[in-house]
Structure 1
Amino acid sequence: MKAALFDIGAGTLDFLLYESNKNIENCVKMVLPSPQGTHVSKLEEITNENKDLYIDGYTVGGGGLGNAVKQHISKGLQVNMTPSAAYSIRNNLSEVEKLRVNIVDQKPENCKQLSLDELRLPSIEKVLNSFNESLMDVDVCGVSVKDHGAAPAGISNRVFRMENYRKTLKKDNRLSGFLYKAPKVQEYYLRMNAIVDAVRDTMGPVPVYLLDTSISALAGCLMDTRIINKDPVLVVNIGNGHTVAAVVSEDRIYAFFEHHTSMLDQEKLEYYLKKLSEGSLERVEVFEDGGHGSVTIMDPPGFSGIERIAVTGPKRRLLEGSELDYIEASPGGDVMMTGTLGLLKVIQDK
């Protein structure tokens, strides 16, 4: 099998061109700057040029895009966005218009153009071609992104996200229960559906799988050779934007937790991990602390019953010097491929 695998985070876009007939060390890998940061930088350049702006393209992860748009408008400059691009800022177009953004179908005159595309497949294909490699002959394309989902009016995105997690876990608490195969992606996952469009536009009818970055990171931890025969385990991903953790036994999630990394310090994270393992971490406690929440589906074994703790993610040093006895997971010998290899594992398990 040959698979193009993408893991899009707040800091980087990680890419693996997996080929089952090769050792993982010999497969093509790339760690690229976050598309979110690239979009913001380009927008800021246009702001500095004092030019009106037209934004089109796909719905992408917003990151700092909304603040950059506000800054552009505060300079007395116009921002015009197509509906698909505008959903990158808010899940409700009327809320985007309240920011004084014009929702348009075509480019107005005298505007600089910014096209949103967080996969940039033509650019990646060009790089691969220079090394006699290609995306166009893969059997599968998999992408993991953070998609909160477009919540109904009056419902917090954080509440909506965790409620969807709870429903999924009650139905099937295996990691593969979170995997979507296009076109069977829930309509409220605007970003995931835009990813499908981006893949189709460049790669045609290849099978496309979608997974949340939280799940791909946790699945990747489980591929570390030092954890494969341990059960139950506590897996933790401390990402640039979000920190997630789960108690996992026999590839099933017993309890799950998600918070914003910037709101955590070592002591607080240790506290949450212990409570998660004991099955006593309540959703409301995490939510009121500014995080997303927690879900407990099956009774965890208690913190003393955890056989191994595996930690990964670009901000994993948050636990450096911790009293917790943990390993730094690096499946395939590369911590930056945790998400892509986790995505591969879930696709294969499905």
Structure 2
Amino acid sequence: MFVVAILIASAFFTLTCFAYVWCKKKIKRPLSQSSMSERFMKLSYNQLCKATNGFSEANLIGNGAFSSVYKGILNEYEDRFVAVKVLNLHNPGAQRSFMRECEVWRNIRHRNLLKILTSCSSIDFQGNDFKALVYEFMPNGSLHDWLYSSESRSRLNIIQITNILMGVAAALDYIHNHCIPSVVHGDLKPSNILLDDNMVAHVGDFGLTKLLGTSYPNSSTGIRGTIGYAAPEYGLGNEMSSCGDVYSFGIVLLEVMTGKQPTDDIFNESLSLHKFASMALPDHVSDAIDDSILHVYQDNETFNQNWEANTKKVMECLALMMKIGVSCTMDSPLERMDMKNVVHELQHILDTLQIFDQVRCL
């Protein structure tokens, strides 16, 4: 009888456990289709080829030293638009650039960083190695497009410009001061600052990046950013550092403010973008500022009701921004601002400019 009782109790316990597990499975909520798509997105060469219409010229939206970027549509994911960065593996540095960028994206997440969706390492139809990174598509293109397209430039107002620069500064502050390990971007420039539907800035292209305090290999090609944006100490063979990113940010800020590229013909050994802006401070900022920045206010009734006072207030904000740019582009890395302080200063300027938040927006 004792043995029978044990057998009955064991059978009852087993049935109870089975019923619990079955019920738990029954009531478990399935993942939504969108969340499953995000979690399990796996793309083949064939799918990326189809999405970009065979990597056609018509879909080409950018070129770099190591890669080409194409606009694509993923039919399998509700016709989602993506940017497909295809590595040029004939370039000796492309393989390392791919591995470095994959390593960086594995560790960082921020609203002002370009969102990576997946990577693809495969073989193309000719049997050649194929590697690509797939990013969220940015419908408003790059800051470079907005600065140097005659149609776009006149549509950016100072609040939008400040918001864009604020987003870039926040992204750099995050990778410099809030990541483990800290990250140096290494190639910040307007073409690597992408803009979404709401004109929010997203920093992309970490192919030349450096992970501080690690043994992870950095660029073997000797490349240290882009001419005009790379910090002067890089030209002396110094290692990449967060101070170099600060310098690049300062050049971008001054470029946006003045409408002049750091490689413009007017700049030479005796005159640089940094010196051009520095000489305009504090009393001649209006002579250095690009006219299109204030042009957007000319048809605004609220602004025009007190044009002189409003213009003075905007010019004061522009002068503060110029000071940030000049401080960030000092020759000595130790004299440059920290990105944490840049974010703080830009936020103060943005708060001041909010009185004009009724100006024409996109």
Q: TM (normalized to structure 1)?
A: 0.28
Q: TM (normalized to structure 2)?
A: 0.28
Bigger helix share: 2
Bigger strand share: 1
Structure ranking higher on relative contact order (CA contacts 8 Å, 6+ apart): 1
Q: Quick check: which has more Rg, 1 or 2? A: 2
